[in-house]
Structure formats: structure tokens, C-alpha cells
Amino acid sequence: MTEFFQSLGMSYEWAWFVATLAGILLIALPVMLAVAYIIYFDRKVIAAISLRRGPNVVGPFGLLQSFADGLKVFLQETIIPSGANKGLFLLAPIITFTVALLAWAVIPFGAEAVLANINVGLLYVLAISSLGVYGVVIAGWASNSKYPFFSAMRAAAQMISYEVSIGFVLVCVVIYAGTFNLNGIIEAQRGHGFGFVNAYGFNLLLFPMWVVFFISSLAETARAPFDLTEAESELVAGYQTEYSSMSFALFWLGEYANILLMCALNSILFWGGWLPPFEWEPLYMVPGIIWLFLKMFLTFFLFSWIWATVPRYRYDQLMRLGWKIFLPLSLLFVVMVSGWIMYTRVGL
């Protein structure tokens, strides 16, 4: 893209700047549009499982319901509690929303369709996603209210706990692929399953790690059955209780952008990313971005299905699952995967 803008007579510096800005907009704007529609899809799936209709009034089939909700919160008054720390209170949703978008810079939508194809892309995603806890903690503390503060403490403990097991799961994937580059990880999955299936998910050593990663993704994004940061019977609405108008909407957008990111990572790390599901030449005629979106869509369907069917965990069950089951299990598989790689590739 830089070369294109240079051909229009721009200097290299200006061409690079405009190309980077265009790339950011090409990612950020579709992500925001996708957030609007996955909220609609989320409500429709939950309604169908509950034998209800879901949104069906605003626009054809209710497709404009998310935009009507966005307009509603945009027109509402922003109320700041008198005892709140005003600066931090307003900063918290901005941090959550911004951090949710930053990780998309290294997500590959195709072989060349990535904003920043860096060698440590997976480390970048892990580092950026871990920053999301700051927005939550600041929101709970700055509200100067008991229940938001309790929720923020829960969220901090929950996110940190499951990031540990996620980290060891990623170590297993990196050992198998031999790279931190997300495109490299996708390429390493060509024909990995039975010689013609493009996915690590068909590896007997890595499939249990996908299960751990998927469940940890639910906990990391505070989705049901791990939505204990917003347990209405205990915490009213969690760390968002004192928020209204667009500040509340930024939390909502950031939350769903993080969910989309986790769906993308599930697809990229274990199910072949932008590769077609099978090594069959006609399937490569379909653009890679379509395959990635289909895999993300199926993963999000699992997220919605679980929300509609699985009851909420208690907090002690949540912590026990993370520390006493997932952490030892992921550590064990790091040893097993390392041993298997040494045996098959090094011969020791």
C-alpha cells in the first residue's frame, strides 16, 4: 500500500504514514461493525435456545437493533458520581476500548493481509490482552462505590489466573510451530491433521490444549459461565454499575471486541486461521479472510450456546478450575509436547 501512495507522488514518509492510517481504519471500522452484528447474533442465538424471538422490530429481521441501541446510549446524559475520581472514571472505558483494538494489529486475515507481520506477534497479543485488566480495575476503584470495587477485584483475580494457563497453552503451540509469528503458526498447520486437514486441533497432544484455551477464553472475557464480574444478584452490574451513556458503551464495545479477538485466536492457533479446512486446491479459490471469518463465527456460536445453557460458576469453583486443574494440566502438556518434539524431530 505504501508503494501505491508513492505512485501518487507522495514522499516515502508520507506514503508510509497514510498507508498505515488506512490499514488501521480498514481493521478498526470493520471490527466495530462486526461487534454490532455479533451482539445481534448473540441475542438471536440465546433467544432461539430460550424459545423466544429476539430482536425483530428495528430494521428487517431486527438487523438494525444494535445501531438503535448505540444511538440510544449516545443520546443519554453522561452521569459522573459526585464522589468519583473524575479523570480516572472517564479514562477507564477509554483504556478498555483502546486495548481491545490494539491487539488486532497483528491478526492475519490472509497470507499478506496483516497490518504488522511481526516475528513476535503472539507475544504482542499476550502482552496487549493482559493490559485490559487496568481499565477494569481503574473503573471499579474510580467509581468510589462498594460493588464496582468488589467486581474489579474479582475481575483482576480472574483474568490474571486464566492468563497463566493461557500462557502455557501458547507455549505448546509455539513449540510445535517453531515460531511466534501468527502467519508462521498458520502455515505450520498445513496438512497437519491426517496429512490433509489444516488444523492443530486434530493433534492428540494439542486438542486438549484447545479445550483449555477455549474455556480460558470464556473466563478471560468474563463470558458465562464465568461472568462473575457482573453477577447481578451480588454485584448489581459489576464495575460498570456507575457508568452511563457512551462511557458504558465503550465498555460494551471493548468487551465484544475482546470476545471477537479470542474467537480469532482460537481459529488461528488451532483451526488453521485463513487456511481452508482441507488441503484441496479448489478450496483455495475462496479468499482466506472468508475461511477465517467462518471459523470465528463458529467459535462465537459456541460462546453464545454456552451462555444460554450453562449455569454460572461460583467464584471458588472458578479459581479452583484455573489454579488446580488448568495450570497443572497445561504445565504437564508443555513437558509432553516438548518431549514429543525432541523425540520426533531431534531424535533424542
pLDDT in tens, 92-108: 999 988 988 898 999 99
Helices (H), 178-238: 182-187, 207-220, 232-235
Note whether 183 and 111 are within 8 A (CB): yes
Dig out the grid coordinates for 318 from the structure.
472458578
Instruction: Tally DSSP H helices, then E strands, for the chain.
Output: 14, 0
Q: What is the pLDDT of residue 207?
A: 93
pLDDT category of residue 338 using cuts at 50, 70 and 90: very high
| C-alpha Rg value of the chain to the nearest Å | 21
Q: What is the pLDDT of residue 347?
A: 64
Model confidence at 76: pLDDT above 80? yes
pLDDT category of residue 348 using cuts at 50, 70 and 90: low
Q: What is the pLDDT of residue 275?
A: 93
Q: What is the pLDDT of residue 237?
A: 72
User: Per-residue pLDDT tens for 192-202?
Assistant: 877 788 999 98
CA 19, 21, 24, 30 torsion-angle sign: negative
CB count in 10 Å sphere of residue 293? 17
Which range, 145-159, 226-240, 314-328, has the best average confidence (pLDDT)? 314-328
pLDDT category of residue 19 using cuts at 50, 70 and 90: confident
Q: What is the pLDDT of residue 171?
A: 94
Residue of 295 and 227 predicted with greater confidence: 295
pLDDT category of residue 299 using cuts at 50, 70 and 90: very high
With vertex at residue 95, the alpha carbon angle to CA 91 and CA 101, rounded to the nearest 5 degrees, is 145
User: Per-residue pLDDT tens for 24-56?
Assistant: 888 888 888 888 899 999 999 999 999 999 899
Model confidence at 155: pLDDT above 90? no
Please tell me whether residue 40 adopts helix, strand or coil conformation.
helix
d(CA 125, CA 174) in angstroms, rounded, equals 14
Note whether 312 and 227 are within 8 A (CB): yes
User: Per-residue pLDDT tens for 214-252?
Assistant: 999 999 888 888 888 777 666 667 788 888 888 888 888
Q: What is the pLDDT of residue 232?
A: 63
Dig out the grid coordinates for 66 from the structure.
444494535
Q: What is the mean pLDDT of residues 125-139?
A: 88
What does pLDDT average to over the chain? 88
Q: What is the mean pLDDT of residues 131-141?
A: 89
Q: What is the pLDDT of residue 291?
A: 94
pLDDT category of residue 82 using cuts at 50, 70 and 90: confident
d(CA 266, CA 214) in angstroms, rounded, equals 7
Would you put residue 347 in left (φ > 0), alpha (ψ -120 to 50) or beta?
Answer: left
CA 284, 286, 292, 295 torsion-angle sign: negative
Dig out the grid coordinates for 290 from the structure.
472468508
Model confidence at 294: pLDDT above 70? yes
